[in-house]
Amino acid sequence: MSNYYGKFYGYTGLFPVLDNEEGHNHLVELRSLLSSLANDRGSLFSRTGLVHGARFFILDDVVYNGHPTVEEHLKNCYLVLSMTFDGELEDLASRISSLGESDWGRVMAHCHSVDASKPAHEVVLEQLRKGQVTTSFLYVDASANLESTLKALLLQRKVAELIENGQGASTEERKALVKALAEQFKHIEIPAPGGFIGD
Amino acid sequence: MRDNELDLGDIQGNILRAYAFPHARFVQLALNDAAAGQRFFAQLLPLITTAEVWPDEKPNATLNVAISASGLRTLELPQATLSSFPNEFMQGMAERALTLGDVEESSPEHWDEVWQKNVDALVSIYGQTDNDCEAHMEQLGAIAEACGVSIIGSQRAGKLTVDGSLSSKEHFGFTDGIAQPEFKHSHSRHTAGDGKLASHGAWTPLETGDFLIGYGNEAKEIEAYPEPLLLSKNGTFLVYRKLEQDVVSFRQYMSEQAEKYPGSEAKLRAKFVGRWEDGTPVALSPDKADPTISGNPDLINDFKYGDDPEGFKCPIGAHVRRANPRDALGFKDNLTDRRRIIRRGISYGDYLNADGSNADEERGLIFIALNANLSRQFEFVQQQWMNYGNDFHQGEQSDPVIGNHKSSRSYVIPGDTSKGEEPFICTEMKTFVRLCGGDYFFVPSLTGIRLMASNEVDAR
Amino acid sequence: MSNIRGKAYAMNVITPQKRWKSIILNAAFKLLTIRFTQKDLRDLSFIHFARWTIIPATGFPKFPQQTRIDKTKFDYLLFESNFNGSWNEYVDAFNAALAFKLNLVWYWSENFPGSVPLSPFKAYIEHNQKYNDYYYMAYPGSAVSDVKNAIDVADAFDTLAGQLESSDEDFDKAYLKFLGQTQNKIGINGGHGPQMS
């Protein structure tokens, strides 16, 4: 199963965009919506608490590379979603559905979808599965889950300061510095993912 | 008969080899209009020094010319030609300030007055004596006046006099310009460490095309060039940067840190630069300057960093390791070969006296770099390696000597903890170097100059 | 509406490939997965995540209400990457370090010019690239190396904090070891990085 890389899951899905209906050009509306979605701490993906990286793009057609290749075209436009996240697809689906009304629903409203009569998390999961294409080769250059990563990035800054402050200090002073930082990190609040630590 | 694979008589001097004259003048000109510019280039041609080898001895002085994007526009070259020049060149250095990290005190609004204007052309004069430079200046002045071209600025520069004798040091006290890229057909002396690493580990020359337009380069191709090729072949791009050095602050910072540093102040300085003041690489001699190395051109550049991944000899962030990381980034030196630049820097102002009595005078370096692709070579080095640290796994840390230290406040000199050595962290780093102006220039071949003078540039 | 978020760039490249060649490529991926390339990618240390997905000619998703189903002549190879630096820097570095291995992956795609020389390779990538409408990164101010450093630093600090009750002598030893583990991994990060242009 190439969708897994250690504890990471690599998801790629294609969702056919709905045909135009009276008063609705779904492709135009979808592109407009995607460009307006929050991609910082207010993002849908930030709120799941599992996603390391995510993207949406429109596959409006395939690419023709010139003679002697045959030119061909797609009959549908697809919304492509890909994500790298912690855990299983089920975990992500239930996090998304637990957000209630969210950007997920607003985006998928422009795409073909599965039967919506089931419980919310099952609908999200089935939608993800229906659109999924299996990854042939996944590569992730990370070892820790999202929470540990964010915490480590915060700690790294504090450790840099500790090393500076501990330069030339006595053992006793160094112990005090280490103890204080360890204590501080037991109760530290990790900022939501999606933002700059520097900000 | 052909005596070289390159047409040396068509290539401007100082690209393939350094002149190594002690005195220099850099003259900034406004061409005013196309006709004036054409007359000027036509009349300047006989004075231009080429790359031909001097048969007996050096001339008393040399003269070379380069032209900026505003100069090309003033000459009214065809739009197809102008559009074929690379974007970064056509934008000019001031517009590239954010890309280059030329911000705060170094941002264009603080530049010298002449660099606030359009400098259309740059004439570089090097001489054995200042009088020799002056003689060329007079000729240049006469031609400019006759042609209707204006001299809008002039910068004096030269080797520094340190302790009463002419020196190769720059203002911070380090021997400068030691390592230069060695490339095919340049006819420079083969020096281990200047070229690239062959698969068997020996140093071999780089491809010509990363330094001269119109030749095969390290990507195994002849890169896109400005049209027509007749205009651009045998030419290259020149970076001119007037860098003010705050020597008082540099010396003060070093002596303050040296009080806490377990080694000598000379060693601390060497750990910042990656070379001792005499040029000995710390990668070869981490504990002392070694005249048997610094005095031997076959040894002074013959080193790698692959055996020192933790930076115990040469810190990972040291200036020369950043400027040319050799094999430090892995994959042999494949990730650095296409980032090399030729440097022709020369100091301006007088060396700061030990008692600081001439501290108020201006001093610094006229940084000159030559390369075929500004964006891939000079700009990449400046942005990624001087003002950023990611390629060295150092986050946003910048170069300890010439970098901007507004946000990256510390510099780590790693210690070999297996031998009980702690690292030394220099805190509250200062920005020692400020950009006072400069621009990007195209250095045409003699053919290119003739073509511009003729008003017959035909894009294709 | 951008390929860039902080220090990261998201690239999508889709290339047509004859169906029988997918079998060879899948075998090559198996080889790549277990062998050399991962170490190379890790050493390059500027790719957060990357993936190759073969969309089979008959494998486009089918939803219940869909009126038209796609069945193509070619299979399509979708490459997606999250890396640090600009497009040019990435392609240059990828090419300089891994030219031969890139050939192994795209060799099977229609009209692929090969990874050397560089300009036709860049043109091919650009021609087949799909731009993002939306890009999210959980830690946009931290590059791959920053994250790896931070994890190592956090581990080293946890170990050191476990030595607080030790004798002074043992703590000194632990502290020295901690300095050795962290000294080259504390570069400040979390900001926006250099302007990519």
Mean pLDDT to the nearest integer, C57-85:
95
pLDDT tens readout for residues B219-240: 999 999 999 999 999 999 999 9
A164 vs chain B: nearest CA distance in angstroms?
Answer: 6
Confidence at residue C21, expressed as pLDDT on a 0 to 100 scale? 92
Mean pLDDT to the nearest integer, C113-126:
94
pLDDT band at residue A117 under the 50/70/90 scheme: confident
Measure Cα distances from B274 to B195, B284, B356, B388, B415 in Å.
19, 10, 26, 18, 15
C139:A70 CB<8 A: no
Residue A137 has pLDDT above 80, yes or no: yes
Cis peptide, bond prior to residue B228, ω within 30 of zero: yes
**C156 close to C182: Cβ distance less than 8 angstroms:** yes
Q: In what order do the strands lie in the sheet with A51-59?
A: A4-5, A8-16, A78-86, A51-59, C132-137
Partners of C189 on chain A (C-beta within 8 Å) are 153, 156, 197-198
Partners of A193 on chain C (C-beta within 8 Å) are 138-139
C143:B412 CB<8 A: no
Tokens of A1: 């199963």
Subunits that touch chain A (at least 3 Cβ pairs < 8 angstroms)? B, C
Residue C34 has pLDDT above 80, yes or no: no
pLDDT tens readout for residues A68-94: 999 999 999 999 999 999 999 999 999
Q: Around Cβ B429, how many Cβ atoms within 10 Å?
A: 20
Q: Which member of C117, C146, C185 has the closest CB to residue B220? A: C117
Which residue does chain C place closest to B376, by CA atoms?
Answer: C89
C111:A34 CB<8 A: no
Q: Which member of B101, B388, B414 has the closest CB to residue C184? A: B414
- Alpha carbon distance B385, B382 (integer Å): 6
3-state secondary structure of A73: coil
Asked if C127 reaches chain A (Cβ–Cβ under 8 Å), the answer is: yes
Confidence at residue C35, expressed as pLDDT on a 0 to 100 scale? 61
Residue C38 has pLDDT above 90, yes or no: no
Picking from B196, B209, B199, the residue whose alpha carbon sits closest to that of residue B236 is B209
- Alpha carbon distance A121, A119 (integer Å): 6
Pairs of CB atoms within 8 A across A/B:
12
Residue B430 has pLDDT above 70, yes or no: yes
Lowest mean pLDDT among A103-112, B50-59, B426-435, C77-86: B50-59
- Alpha carbon distance B337, B181 (integer Å): 9
**Mutate: best of B257, B411, B425, B426, partner A, most A CBs <10 A:** B425
Amino acid at C162: G
Tokens of B20: 């190594």
Mean pLDDT to the nearest integer, C17-36:
82
- B358-364: long-range contacts at Cβ-Cβ below 8 A with a sequence spacing of 24 or more? B359/B247, B359/B248, B362/B244, B363/B171, B363/B244, B363/B245, B363/B247, B364/B171, B364/B242, B364/B243, B364/B244, B364/B245, B364/B433, B364/B436
Confidence at residue B131, expressed as pLDDT on a 0 to 100 scale? 97
Which residue does chain C place closest to B221, by CA atoms?
Answer: C117
Pairs of CB atoms within 8 A across A/C:
282
- Alpha carbon distance B123, A57 (integer Å): 51
pTM of the model: 0.97
Q: Around Cβ A177, how many Cβ atoms within 10 Å?
A: 17
pLDDT band at residue B1 under the 50/70/90 scheme: very low
Picking from B282, B280, B275, the residue whose alpha carbon sits closest to that of residue B294 is B280
Confidence at residue C197, expressed as pLDDT on a 0 to 100 scale? 66
What is the pLDDT of chain A when averaged over all its residues?
A: 95
What is the pLDDT of chain B when averaged over all its residues?
A: 96
Give B23 or B2, the one with higher predicted confidence.
B23
B438 vs chain A: nearest CA distance in angstroms?
Answer: 32
pLDDT band at residue C102 under the 50/70/90 scheme: confident
3-state secondary structure of B459: coil
Subunits that touch chain C (at least 3 Cβ pairs < 8 angstroms)? A, B
- Alpha carbon distance B390, B406 (integer Å): 17
**B2 close to B96: Cβ distance less than 8 angstroms:** no
Pairs of CB atoms within 8 A across B/C:
108
pLDDT tens readout for residues C130-143: 999 999 999 999 99
Residue B308 has pLDDT above 90, yes or no: yes
pLDDT tens readout for residues B19-52: 999 999 999 999 999 999 999 999 999 999 999 9
C84:B390 CB<8 A: yes
What is the pLDDT of chain C when averaged over all its residues?
A: 93
B271 vs chain C: nearest CA distance in angstroms?
Answer: 15
CB within 8 A of B142, min separation 6: which ones?
A: none
Asked if B310 reaches chain C (Cβ–Cβ under 8 Å), the answer is: yes
Residue C1 has pLDDT above 90, yes or no: no
- Alpha carbon distance A107, A195 (integer Å): 22
C188:B337 CB<8 A: no
Partners of B423 on chain A (C-beta within 8 Å) are 163
Which residue does chain B place closest to A163, by CA atoms?
Answer: B425
Picking from A142, B191, B320, B115, the residue whose alpha carbon sits closest to that of residue C45 is A142
Partners of C166 on chain A (C-beta within 8 Å) are none
Residue A199 has pLDDT above 80, yes or no: no
Measure Cα distances from A104 to A44, A69, A170, B81 in Å.
7, 38, 55, 50
pLDDT band at residue B4 under the 50/70/90 scheme: low
Confidence at residue B189, expressed as pLDDT on a 0 to 100 scale? 83
Which residue does chain B place closest to A164, by CA atoms?
Answer: B425
pLDDT band at residue C33 under the 50/70/90 scheme: low
- Alpha carbon distance B313, B246 (integer Å): 27
A195:C140 CB<8 A: yes
Asked if A180 reaches chain C (Cβ–Cβ under 8 Å), the answer is: no
Asked if B403 reaches chain C (Cβ–Cβ under 8 Å), the answer is: no
Residue A1 has pLDDT above 60, yes or no: no
Q: Which member of C40, C183, C189 has the closest CB to residue B415? A: C183
Which residue does chain B place closest to C172, by CA atoms?
Answer: B420
Residue C172 has pLDDT above 60, yes or no: yes
Asked if B1 reaches chain C (Cβ–Cβ under 8 Å), the answer is: no
Asked if B95 reaches chain C (Cβ–Cβ under 8 Å), the answer is: no
CB within 8 A of B259, min separation 6: which ones?
A: none
**CB neighbour class for B145 (10 Å; exposed up to 12, middle 13-18, buried from 19):** exposed
Partners of A168 on chain B (C-beta within 8 Å) are 260
B425:A164 CB<8 A: yes
- Alpha carbon distance C124, A65 (integer Å): 8
C45 vs chain B: nearest CA distance in angstroms?
Answer: 8
CA A108 to centroid of chain Cα atoms: 16
Confidence at residue B399, expressed as pLDDT on a 0 to 100 scale? 97
**B103 close to B97: Cβ distance less than 8 angstroms:** yes
**B338 close to B218: Cβ distance less than 8 angstroms:** yes
Asked if B202 reaches chain C (Cβ–Cβ under 8 Å), the answer is: no
Asked if A160 reaches chain B (Cβ–Cβ under 8 Å), the answer is: yes
- Alpha carbon distance B57, B82 (integer Å): 40
Query: What does residue A101 show for φ and ψ, rounded to 5 degrees?
Result: -70, 125
B390:C93 CB<8 A: no
**CB neighbour class for B62 (10 Å; exposed up to 12, middle 13-18, buried from 19):** buried
Which residue does chain C place closest to A27, by CA atoms?
Answer: C133
Asked if C96 reaches chain B (Cβ–Cβ under 8 Å), the answer is: yes
Taking only residues 31 to 60 of chain C, the set having a beta carbon closer than 8 angstroms to any beta carbon of chain A reads 32-33, 38, 41-42, 45, 47-55, 59-60
Residue A160 has pLDDT above 60, yes or no: yes
**Percent of chain B, pLDDT > 70?**
99
pLDDT tens readout for residues B100-146: 999 999 999 999 999 999 999 999 999 999 999 999 999 999 999 99
B260:A168 CB<8 A: yes
- Alpha carbon distance B244, B378 (integer Å): 19
Residue C154 has pLDDT above 90, yes or no: yes
- Alpha carbon distance B407, B392 (integer Å): 17
Q: Which member of C116, C146, C188 has the closest CB to residue B408? A: C188
pLDDT tens readout for residues B336-360: 999 999 999 999 999 999 999 999 9
- Alpha carbon distance A168, B94 (integer Å): 44
pLDDT band at residue A149 under the 50/70/90 scheme: very high
What is the residue-wise DSSP string for chain C?
Answer: --SEETTEEEEEEEEEE-HHHHHHHHHHHHHHHHSTHHHHHHHH--EEEEEEEEE-TT-S---TT-S-----SSEEEEEEEEEES-HHHHHHHHHHHHHHHHHHHHTTBTT---SSSHHHHHHHHHHTB--EEEEEESSTT--HHHHHHHHHHHHHHHHHHTTTTS-HHHHHHHHHHHHHHHTTS-----S--SPP-
Partners of B409 on chain C (C-beta within 8 Å) are 188
What is the residue-wise DSSP string for A144-160?
Answer: S-HHHHHHHHHHHHHHH
CB within 8 A of C75, min separation 6: which ones?
A: C16, C17, C18, C19, C21, C22, C54, C55, C56, C57
Asked if C146 reaches chain B (Cβ–Cβ under 8 Å), the answer is: yes
- Alpha carbon distance B49, A116 (integer Å): 80
Confidence at residue C196, expressed as pLDDT on a 0 to 100 scale? 79
Lowest mean pLDDT among B285-289, C31-35, C101-105: C31-35
3-state secondary structure of B26: strand
C18 vs chain A: nearest CA distance in angstroms?
Answer: 10
pLDDT band at residue A51 under the 50/70/90 scheme: very high
